[in-house]
Amino acid sequence: MTGTDAVEARATTLCYDDVEVGEELPELAIELTPTLIVSTAIATRDYQDVHHDRDLAHKKGSKDIFMNILTTNGFVGRFVTEWSGPEAMLESVSIRLGAPNYAYDTMTISGRVTSKEMIEGRGVLEIALVGRNSLGDHVTGTVRLSLPTAEASAGLAADEGAA
């Protein structure tokens, strides 16, 4: 995808049992081009002028066009799922916006595993994350996701072998 430093998406899903509290996720750097900001605002049906019209953004007191919250939320989800793999299930995403993501900057998202617990047979992790740009923290938050456990993976493999 244009506008991002490629982080190779995991082809297989992490196993809950193999993840440790304190584990750092690989950073994701996103180049904030005007095309990225405008196209993602339009893709999320956010036609607010500050996301696509530089002149109107200036008139409203902004230094440039800036990313909308739906796009930020999407990049947060991408950051976590590229690390965790295709079978990870996002259970909740809680984010707070800070400094705007203006065009011609870069946002780098980093995070770490802050907790893990078994809940009703699901291996649930909590990830704390922050996305920073040249102005400071653009987004801070937490993501809860569930991953397959070794026991569940072993049962699935046995079922597939019997088929």
pLDDT beyond 50 at 1: no
Structural domain span for residue 131? 16-162
- Tell me, yes or no, whether 8 lies in a domain: no
Integer angstrom CA distances of residue 25 from 38, 111, 112 = 28, 5, 6
β strands within the chain, DSSP E: 24-32, 89-97, 105-119, 122-133, 136-147
- Tell me, yes or no, whether 11 lies in a domain: no
- Tell me, yes or no, whether 6 lies in a domain: no
pLDDT beyond 60 at 113: yes
* Higher pLDDT, residue 43 or 153: 43
- Tell me, yes or no, whether 4 lies in a domain: no
- Tell me, yes or no, whether 5 lies in a domain: no
Integer angstrom CA distances of residue 36 from 2, 23, 27, 68, 102 = 8, 30, 19, 11, 11
Report the pLDDT value the prediction gives residue 50, as an integer from 0 to 100.
Answer: 78
Instruction: Say whether pTM exceeds 0.75.
Output: yes
Average pLDDT, the chain: 89
Q: What is the CATH number of the domain that holds 48?
A: 3.10.129.10
pLDDT digits (tens, 9 = 90+) for 10-26: 889 999 999 999 999 99
DSSP per-residue codes, 111-140:
EEEEEEEEETTEEEEEEEEEEEETTEEEEE
- Tell me, yes or no, whether 37 lies in a domain: yes
pLDDT digits (tens, 9 = 90+) for 80-99: 999 999 999 999 999 999 99
pLDDT beyond 80 at 3: no
Q: What is the domain count for the chain? A: 1
- Tell me, yes or no, whether 44 lies in a domain: yes
Q: Give me the helix-helix angle, 69-84 and 34-43, nearest 10°.
A: 100
**Cα–chain center distance at 85:** 13
Report the pLDDT value the prediction gives residue 9, as an integer from 0 to 100.
Answer: 76
Q: 105: which residues sit within 8 A by CB, 6+ positions away? A: 32, 133, 134, 135
- Tell me, yes or no, whether 104 lies in a domain: yes
